[in-house]
Structure 1
């Protein structure tokens, strides 16, 4: 999401090379990120820095901030948006095409017909959803399975914020995904950066919370409940001899139903720190203690 905005192309190239060299595969972007710049950068890097076959490209369509309505999952818009994404990404197919947001004004069957057309044309391998509730995801996934009998791009993922600071998906989305055989792409697994413990003593000058366009994004997790959870993460990290970041990320990565934890480092140094925790596994006792400390409040 930050590529083309907070992270420029040269830095993005270093990140992608580091990521692929470490065995990483999934690149998650969207047609609206940076006004299309994120997809353009991914396209140039995948055709020039790494091999297309070495990565799984996931992008999203449906948000229309410049249009006459906020979102659009009509057949007309989706198929046009798909072709535009393919041009920016410099590829002939998208591995995971995600419906970024639900559109209440377009019938489910019309949206699903666009997914089927894209798959039959060889432009899409699999489909997913973005900002959907559990019942919305279940509606689209169940309709798609019933209507196509598995002949179209299956809806195999849902994207949602999930971390020790936000465990809301456990109430209904994760059970729905499990029932339908889909996986969660957990975004902001570090609680918008707060679980890295960088805000324990205030707001660092280079942090997201110090940036005018990102401060409101971080602020909800600078409350007392979040502070207590961060302290629990730090206690676990000290006991294991690892970073708070490693504790928070490994907790999300190993949760049942999570297919991937999507991270958004600004720099290669931050990415290298994230990749260094891949071998960290939390002991059962620490995992259970973190579960208790971060149990989701009543809705």
Structure 2
């Protein structure tokens, strides 16, 4: 593997491997033994950025949430490598195993971005991760019931206590992000250093990010660490036009996104990949790494073999013609113009 250049996350002091390792699958589609093997392989390749959330994975039967954080914590303790790892987690959602039948007010006290919930959730995450600080603490999505001043004030207190190094946000619209940045500036509070949007070559996620949010990130120096950069697996090459759906935990939700437009993108990735003796997923990630403000797309893997394939991205260099070809076939502005004719 070639020497990897780590990327600064926005204007923060964090420097990340070009591919983050998402851990939503830990305790869900990948058990603890598999998770340890995956993280071992990622770290051995130079990887240093683990992204999780407190609610992973509450939608799985018998999983109260916090399981991914606990697995990561046990792995770092067993390996003694905490100082090598940039740990990112999130707060906002309700943890499982709670009685949510006591009225809307009490339910909101057990989730959201209020001061009370953020301070409690952070201490819980620190305990599960077995660390004394979180490198990047992110608002998982907006909480419209809590003033942004309260949210940012709580985050600021965590930074001043030394529990958190930097703060970021996930799934914020451009206007919500601007509201937060303006509030931080006006009130002298800690400001988000990163944004974690859904972003891939697929329509409409490329358009949703590039219309406004990307411009905010570029203008104000935020790092971008997108989730689902492979469109939930659609850009890996396992989905083919006219072929049966592959066996996958995500295949059911993929069917509605398999449009002719998106198949054109998938087939272009395959063409470029063939020219480089690479994989379509590697090409999709390499294209993303060439985009403005991009720091580290967050990938997921259920096995070391899947991870190793994706790690091959860091050795892949696309030409300007390659990038232009991929950009053109996925051009949401062109597609909209043609639709309006």
Normalised by the size of structure 2, how large is the TM-score?
0.82
* Corresponding residue of 1:208: 249
Is 1:255 the counterpart of 2:310? The answer is no
Contact 2:217–2:293, Cα closer than 8 Å, also in 1: yes
Unaligned regions of 5+ residues in structure 1, if any?
A: none
CA deviations on 1:160-188 (whole Å, 9 max, x unpaired) are 11111131211100101111110111111
CA deviations on 1:136-159 (whole Å, 9 max, x unpaired) are 0111122113322xxx54311010
Contact 1:191–1:221, Cα closer than 8 Å, also in 2: no
Matches for 1:122-137 after TM superposition, within 5 Å: 122-137=162-177
Is 1:140 the counterpart of 2:145? The answer is no
Aligned partner of 2:193 among 145, 156, 162? 156
Deviation at 1:65, TM superposition (A): 6.2
Q: Distance in 2 between matches of 1:298 and 1:85?
A: 43
Is 1:79 the counterpart of 2:102? The answer is no
* Corresponding residue of 1:106: 146
Corresponding residue pairs, total: 290
Deviation at 1:195, TM superposition (A): 0.7
Q: Distance in 1 between matches of 2:255 and 2:179?
A: 33
| Structure number with higher relative contact order (C-alpha < 8 Å, ≥ 6 residues apart) | 2
Matches for 1:199-238 after TM superposition, within 5 Å: 199-200=239-240, 201-205=243-247, 207-210=248-251, 215-216=252-253, 218-238=254-274
Q: Distance in 1 between matches of 2:191 and 2:177?
A: 12
Specify the SS of the correspondent of 1:127.
Answer: strand
Deviation at 1:241, TM superposition (A): 2.0
Q: Distance in 2 between matches of 1:186 and 1:112?
A: 22
Matches for 1:82-101 after TM superposition, within 5 Å: 82-101=122-141
* Corresponding residue of 2:60: none
* Corresponding residue of 1:43: 73
Q: Distance in 2 between matches of 1:50 and 1:230?
A: 41
* Corresponding residue of 2:83: 53
* Corresponding residue of 1:289: 325
* Corresponding residue of 1:19: 42
CA deviations on 1:7-57 (whole Å, 9 max, x unpaired) are 111111111111111111110000000211001001111111250001000
Unaligned regions of 5+ residues in structure 2, if any?
A: 1-23, 58-64, 101-106
Q: Distance in 2 between matches of 1:129 and 1:82?
A: 15
Contact 1:13–1:49, Cα closer than 8 Å, also in 2: no
Contact 2:221–2:293, Cα closer than 8 Å, also in 1: no
Q: Distance in 1 between matches of 2:209 and 2:289?
A: 14
Is 1:245 the counterpart of 2:281? The answer is yes
| CA RMSD in angstroms, aligned pairs only | 1.6
